[in-house]
Amino acid sequence: MPIVSSVLQQQQLPHSPSPVSNQSLLPQRSSVTRGKYSITDFEIKRTLGTGSFGRVHLVRSKYNRLYYAMKVLKKAQVVRMKQVEHTNDERRMLKLVDHPFLIRIWGTFQDSHNLFMVMDYVEGGELFSLLRRSQRFPNPVAKFYAAQVTLALEYLHSHDIIYRDLKPENILLDRKGHIRITDFGFAKEVPDVTYTMCGTPDYIAPEVIARKAYNKSVDWWSLGILIFEMLTGYTPFYDQTPMRTYEKVLQCDVRYPNYILPEARDLLSNLITRDLTRRLGNLANGPSDVKNHPWFAEVDWERVLSKRIDTPYEPPIRHAGDASLFEHYPEEELDYGITTQDEYGYLFIDF
């Protein structure tokens, strides 16, 4: 039985007609990159997002005329914020992964001041924006997105990759409404355990905050927080300062609204738990314990993976390169392509 039932037709989620264009956004060339691209190969259209180290642009290839997202990081800022290892890990992780619900990278390059990553342009906007417009998702809608995220985490963990930054802002929607997880800045290949403190306060697992050794189970904690936020519209440990949020995470006192169904509450209580001997995903059966939970009872996982499920929301994409579902950001004068002394290039030799 499809996991998004006819009940969705009565929900308040925005719907749209079929997209005008079905033009494929996949590049026509290999993702082998060294010496392949330069900034002159692309037309920069607009900014899609900004961050501490740079910004993401919508760009168009001058050769195949297709659209991409280009993430640009300022080398000096990456070094200043001690993110060199994370940045190199992001490039390496993106080159390793190949999954329907994960972003793809097509090439990387650098100039004297900046690092460039050319990736899929996923034009449906952030799940975060849809959730804010909807306030909270009905149970079947939250289940749809949670199922796709679960399969993505299962795939990453099978390759010993911990994602470490799951949140609605890092989940994009494609033109049909399926998810694509983006931003691998905190992803790391970890065969056993690691100790690095990183992530977003509302989503960080208690063992990370406590500076203990941790493993892939931190992603299952974050899945629990994500499902809670989708069902309620807020995160369970939110506070005005990160320190207060961390304190609440360590206390792990979750207040469940009455409208959360018993099956959902049971799943959440077994994901958002400090007890690693109880946390689903971390037990003997691994991700199967999550997938076999009663809340996911009607999910046909093969159909989810092959995208043979009707999506609860289809973004209103009007044409190829439509960026109307992303927020507008002030544009800046760009220093891309300038050739000067490259002070930090030796730290990013694989770009």
The answer to whether residues 281 and 220 touch, using CB atoms and an 8 Å cutoff, is yes
Q: Mind listing the pLDDT tens digit for each residue in 84-103?
A: 999 999 999 999 999 999 99
Answer whether residue 22 is part of any domain.
no
Give the domain range for residue 276: 127-305
Quick one: pLDDT band at residue 52, thresholds 50, 70, 90?
confident
Statement: the pTM of the whole predicted model exceeds 0.75: yes
Least trusted range by pLDDT, from 5-9, 63-67, 298-302: 5-9
For residue 150, being part of any structural domain is answered with yes
Q: Residues near 18 by Cβ (< 8 Å), separated by ≥ 6?
A: 314
The one-letter amino acid at 323:
A
Identify the band that residue 8 occupies on the pLDDT scale cut at 50, 70 and 90. Answer: very low
Residue 35: per-residue pLDDT: 45
Q: How many domains does the chain have?
A: 2
Position 344 in a domain: no
Query: Is residue 104 a part of any domain in this protein?
Result: yes
DSSP for 151-189 reads HHHHHHHHTTEE----SGGGEEE-TTS-EEE---TT-EE
Percent of residues, the chain, with pLDDT higher than 70: 90
Q: What stretches of 159-316 show up as alpha helix (H) in DSSP?
A: 206-209, 217-232, 242-251, 262-269, 287-291, 301-305
Has residue 69 got a pLDDT over 60?
Answer: yes
pLDDT in tens, 203-239: 999 999 999 999 999 999 999 999 999 999 999 999 9
pLDDT at residue 5 tops 80: no
CA neighbor of 202 nearest in space, from 231, 232, 168, 238: 238
Query: Mean pLDDT across the chain, nearest whole number?
Result: 90
Residue 10 within any structural domain of the chain: no
| Whether residue 89 is found in the same domain as residue 135 | no
pLDDT at 44: 97
Query: Is 203 exposed, middle or buried, given 0-12, 13-18 or 19+ CB atoms closer than 10 A?
Result: buried
Q: Examine the domain organization and report whether 112 and 151 are in the same domain.
A: no
Residues 145, 267, single domain; the answer is yes
Statement to judge: residues 48 and 119 lie in one domain: yes
Cα dist. 54→63, 81, 332, 336 in Å?
25, 12, 11, 12
Domain co-membership, 119 together with 132: no
Compute the distance between CA of residue 122 and CA of residue 103 in angstroms, rounded to an integer.
8
Distance CA 2, CA 304 (A): 9
- Tell me, yes or no, whether 170 and 53 share the same domain: no
Decide if 6 is inside a domain.
no
CATH code of residue 82: 3.30.200.20
Do 163 and 271 share a domain, yes or no? yes
Q: Which positions are catalytic? A: 165
Using a pLDDT cut of 90, give the percent of the chain over it.
88
pLDDT recorded at residue 48: 95
Q: What is the CATH number of the domain that holds 151?
A: 1.10.510.10
Could you tell me if 170 and 64 lie in one domain? no
For residue 282, what pLDDT is reported?
96
Res. 15: pLDDT tops 60: no
Q: Do the domain assignments include residue 66?
A: yes
Q: In the predicted model, what is the mean pLDDT of residues 248-275?
A: 97
Considering the domain architecture, whether residues 116 and 134 belong to the same structural domain is answered as no
The pLDDT tens digits of the residues spanning 296-327 come to: 999 999 999 999 999 999 999 999 999 999 99
Q: At 41, is the secondary structure helix, strand, or coil?
A: helix
* Range of lowest pLDDT (15-19, 118-122, 275-279): 15-19
d(C-alpha 123, C-alpha 21), whole Å: 12
274 located within any domain: yes
| Confidence at residue 51, expressed as pLDDT on a 0 to 100 scale | 84
Residues 169, 183: Cα–Cα separation, whole Å: 9
Q: Please determine, for residue 53, whether its predicted confidence score (pLDDT) is greater than 80.
A: yes
Residue 193 and residue 105 in one domain: no
Is residue 141 located within the same domain as residue 276?
yes
Q: Let me know whether 117 and 138 are in one domain.
A: no
pLDDT given at position 133: 96
